Amino acid sequence: MKFKTTPYHFDLLKDNDRLSVFFQAIDDYEGNMDLAYDLGCGSGVLSYFLSKYFNEVISLEIDEKAYECARENLSSFDNTEVINSDVLEYDFTKKADLIVCEMLDTALIDEEEIPVLNHAKKFLKENGKIIPQGIINTVELVNLERHYIHWDEGANYEEYSKPVVYSEFNFLNDIKPEFDIDLTLKTDKSGTVNGLMITTYTKLTDNLIVGPLPMLNPPLLIPLEEKSVKVNDLINIKLKYIMGNGIETIKTEYY
């Protein structure tokens, strides 16, 4: 099927690995197949996958241009309704068997996955499921070439510690957007540390976890005050941010 897209969603469609893992997760879904919500449906490709399994698919998209693309792409499917609406303002009247929400980004800081799911899962049936199921975040010390917050899209940096899991979220649980943690990271070389790298792994199902893909959660690089270190130094850092409120909420400091 040929999809009409916005330029941004065209790049998403080119990431075959991203599409493949979401298709596999939907294909592996086991449960009732009466109703699925696709929240932030974009061009509608995940709704297209869902339409082959579910009796009814309701697809919400806030961006008007993306909505028009999805409506055209899915116009031939009688079981799929595309709605131009903010999820947080939509009047849900039915409970779903499955919610698909791909408002993902690294550590869920910039996109609205958490506030959207905290709201929408009230309209999930008792035994309903969410795709993806959750995320796992790791962090490590680095030396950055660019001393500002940016994503790893060809950026130069040097790793100074092993990655450590610092948070894990199951989307079926209520999650506070405000996040803060005290970290202790152990250096594995001598030199200069001036940043953190956060890497997010997406848990689509019990058996399907994927790391960063070209259009799915590239690692996030965050500057720190420059610090000279030796092998096996223990570096204590406070990390704070608000999920869904943007990278400008990120705060870091040594303690």
pLDDT tens string 148-173: 999 987 778 999 999 999 999 999 99
Cα distance between residue 112 and residue 130, in whole Å: 15
Give a yes or no: residue 182 inside a domain.
yes
Q: Which of 119, 129, 105, 123 is nearest to 243 (CA)?
A: 105
Strand intervals (E) in 90-133: 96-101, 124-131
Of the chain, the percentage scoring pLDDT greater than 90 comes to: 87
Same domain? 91 vs 187: no
For residues 176 and 231, state if they share a domain: yes
CA distance 250 to 255: 16
Residues spanned by the domain of 223: 134-254
Higher pLDDT, 178 or 11: 178
Residue 235 pairs in a beta bridge with 185
Mean pLDDT of 177-190: 98
Query: What sections of the chain are H helices per DSSP?
Result: 7-14, 16-28, 45-51, 64-73, 113-120
**Domain stops at, among 86, 102, 118:** 102
Claim to verify: residue 12 and residue 97 sit in the same structural domain: yes
CATH number at residue 76: 3.40.50.150
Do 140 and 230 lie in a common domain?
Answer: yes
In a domain, residue 119? The reply is no
pLDDT of residue 241: 98
pTM of the predicted structure, to 2 decimals: 0.92
Q: What is the per-residue pLDDT for 237?
A: 98
- Are 79 and 49 contacting, i.e. CB atoms less than 8 angstroms apart? no
Same domain, 156 and 95: no
CATH number at residue 235: 2.70.160.11
Please tell me whether residues 143 and 233 are part of one structural domain.
Answer: yes
- 8 Å CB contact between 115 and 107: no
123 lies in a domain? no
- Last residue of a domain, which of 84, 102, 120? 102
pLDDT tens digit sequence for 134-153: 999 999 999 999 999 999 87
Based on the domain organization, do 71 and 172 belong to the same domain?
Answer: no
> How big is the CA angle at 5 (ends 248 and 130), to the nearest 5 degrees?
60
Identify whether residues 153 and 248 lie together within a single domain.
Answer: yes
